Every structure is written in structure tokens, then in C-alpha cells.
Structure 1
């Protein structure tokens, strides 16, 4: 799977599982060249997810929602590492995310 296909997969899965007000997906795989996960073919990504679905949830619960949405793509050969910033719309507006 190519890097652009992985980014598209992340976008699709998060869009299907969550009500998105904003989604940014950054491919940071190039920063991890030679890393064990990179050698296995998995990518490294950073996401900013702004969703009202996070209201009332703590950080761990929000991350679980994101990981659950991505599901089986969280394998070393697809997505090796995922850095998550998960905010409600109100938090994003006050944070200038």
C-alpha cells in the first residue's frame, strides 16, 4: 500500500466513524527511515481530529475512538505509528489548533 493510499485510508475510516469538523493527516514516515516499523513497510502519521464526538471523553477515551476507527490498519505493515491530537470543536477554537 502506498503512502497516499494509507493517508486516504486514515481519512476514510475516521470520516466513517466520527463526526468530523476538521481532520489533518500528516505523513511523517520520511522522518523514520531505517526504523524497524519503516522497514516492515508501515508508515508513521500524525493526526489532528476535531470532533464533537469527543465531548465528555478524556484523552485515553478519545484515542481509543480513533484507534477503533482505524481498526486493522494499525499493523506494522500498514500504519506502524500514529500520533493523535483529538479535540472538541470548542477546544480547537480556543487552542488555535
Structure 2
């Protein structure tokens, strides 16, 4: 599965301010930024990201996913402390 395919699945399913996907060989890291995460528990945030990927995970095209979900405010703070590039 290509990174752009994962991005398309997520962007088609949920509204995100920013989306960063990296990885290869079925192992991916996802950083998602949206105001909707402010009202969700960490578990609900993870479920919101996993839901659009369930089919590709079940098929074996994606083996492992690491998810970090942020509100725009928390993402700004994270960028100051740990810029991604």
C-alpha cells in the first residue's frame, strides 16, 4: 500500500487540517490534526483514524499503524518542541 493511498482513505473519511503519513512495507506512522480531536478521548481519536483503514488492515496491505492525533493548538505546541521536518 502506498502512502498516498492511505492519505486518500483518511481524507475521504474524515476532515483533517493536516495529515502526515510515513512508513513502508506495511508499517506506517500517521499524524492527524483536527479540531474534532479536542472533544474525544485518546481511544476515540485512535478509533476515528483506524476506521477508514480497517479494510486495508484486514486485507494485510497494512500491518502496523502508529497514530498521533492532535488538535491544531496541541499540534502547534508539538511542532515547537519536536518539529517533523
TM-score (norm 1): 0.73
Verify: 1:20 aligned to 2:16, yes or no.
yes
Q: Aligned partners of 2:21 and 2:7: how far apart in 1?
A: 7
- What count of residue pairs does the alignment treat as equivalent? 80
Q: Aligned partners of 2:37 and 2:14: how far apart in 1?
A: 9
Residue 50 (structure 1) aligns with:
33
Residue 89 (structure 1) aligns with:
72
Larger Rg: 1
Q: Structure 1 regions of 5+ residues with no counterpart?
A: 30-42
Structure 2 residue matching 1:79: 3-state secondary structure: coil
Q: Structure 2 regions of 5+ residues with no counterpart?
A: none
| Dislocated runs of 4+, deviation >6 Å | none
Residue 5 (structure 2) aligns with:
9
Deviation at 1:76, TM superposition (A): 5.6
Q: Aligned partners of 2:42 and 2:72: how far apart in 1?
A: 15
